[in-house]
């Protein structure tokens, strides 16, 4: 989410299908898995995935664990009355517009309940609105879109475990919802050396595909990226889905609705690349609009657009 130069990301997206075929023999180790039709249920049953899933030959095999092997260490189920801001003991707001986000995004982040608040039914709603507020200053776009971005910086960070959120993303050209993580040492170590883990990114113009990635030294604008799609041209914007990573000292694995679709590991890096995922990261939720990767909104883009978050949960392995 931090930087997305358009040409690099377009190149990566176009080559993804070829890369998946090329890495098929390595999928049991560390690489990209693409399980057509394997992901995409609502995710409302168990949060522990599907240990009995029978995958096609060549797909990444999930290293699932029994529920008893995990313990919940942090969560937010967003309970509270409608229009209340999220718990300030857990979340802080990022505010403002470009150039601080680095992606030529159009939105201006605020801390208003109109952009980030509880809905009174156990959800957090991040809303992008077409409006211009006094004091807004932007260097990209028409400066007439507000949205929200919250983080756990200074409140919670962790290395290793299971990180997941159940989210309904918005569709529409220019929409760019994300659930991601940044190294908690960001005040001392600049990006990308502090590390970035993208648990979920969805482009509104491609609402059937979820992207997961990591960014670090030597894999900056074009990170190590995995993605998967829903079967039968279904859209992630049609319902809630569980976006998850499992993170160990040498591996990060991405799952959609309990099914693995790819992984990155320290042993798979190239010369000049460094594995920096050995320290705590904090969490981020945001709804960006426009930018180099998703492109601008157009006349068909619905406003207000809403990213609805049912919960965010972090688990650790029991020892």
DSSP H or E stretch at residue 21: helix 6-22
CB-based contact 314:181 (threshold 8 Å): no
Residues near 180 by beta carbon (within 8 Å), at least 6 away in sequence: 1, 196, 197, 198, 199, 200, 201, 283, 284
* Alpha carbons 221 and 173: distance in angstroms, whole number: 22
Q: Per residue in 37-70, is it b (16+ CB within 10 Å) or e — as a string? A: ebbbbebeeebbbbeeeebeebbbebebbeeeeb
Rg (Cα) of the chain, in Å, rounded? 18
> For residue 138, what are its two tokens?
């932007």
Q: Hey, which residues are catalytic here?
A: 196, 201
* Tokens 């949205």 found at: 147
Whether the upstream peptide bond of residue 99 has omega within 30° of 0, thus cis, is yes
């Amino acid at each position: 989410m931090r930087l997305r130069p358009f040409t690099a990301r377009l190149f990566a997206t176009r080559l993804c299908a070829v890369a998946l075929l090329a890495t098929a023999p390595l999928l049991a180790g560390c690489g990209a898995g693409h399980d057509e039709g394997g992901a995409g249920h609502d995710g409302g049953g168990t949060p522990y995935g599907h240990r009995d899933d029978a995958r096609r030959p060549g797909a990444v095999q999930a290293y699932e664990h029994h529920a008893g092997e995990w313990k919940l260490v942090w969560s937010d189920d967003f309970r509270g009355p409608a229009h209340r801001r999220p718990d300030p003991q857990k979340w802080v707001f990022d505010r403002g517009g470009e150039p601080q986000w680095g992606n030529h995004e159009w939105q201006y982040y605020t801390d208003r309940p109109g952009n980030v608040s509880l809905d009174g039914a156990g959800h957090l709603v991040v809303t992008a609105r077409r409006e211009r507020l006094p004091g807004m200053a932007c260097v990209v776009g028409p400066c007439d879109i507000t949205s929200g971005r919250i983080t756990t910086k200074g409140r919670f960070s962790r290395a290793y475990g299971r990180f997941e959120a159940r989210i309904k993303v918005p569709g529409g050209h220019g929409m760019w919802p994300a659930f991601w993580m940044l190294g908690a040492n960001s005040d001392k170590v600049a990006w990308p050396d502090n590390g970035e883990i993208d648990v979920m990114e969805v482009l509104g113009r491609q609402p059937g595909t979820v992207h997961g990635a990591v960014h670090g030294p030597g894999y900056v604008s074009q990170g190590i990226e995995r993605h998967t799609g829903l079967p039968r041209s279904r859209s992630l914007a049609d319902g809630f889905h569980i976006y998850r990573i499992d993170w160990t000292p040498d591996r990060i694995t991405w799952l959609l609705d309990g099914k693995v679709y790819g992984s990155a590991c320290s042993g798979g890096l190239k010369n000049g690349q460094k594995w920096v995922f050995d320290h705590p990261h904090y969490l981020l939720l945001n709804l960006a609009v426009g930018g180099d990767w998703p492109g601008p909104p157009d006349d068909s883009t619905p406003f207000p657009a809403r990213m609805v978050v049912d919960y965010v949960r972090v688990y650790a392995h029991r020892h």
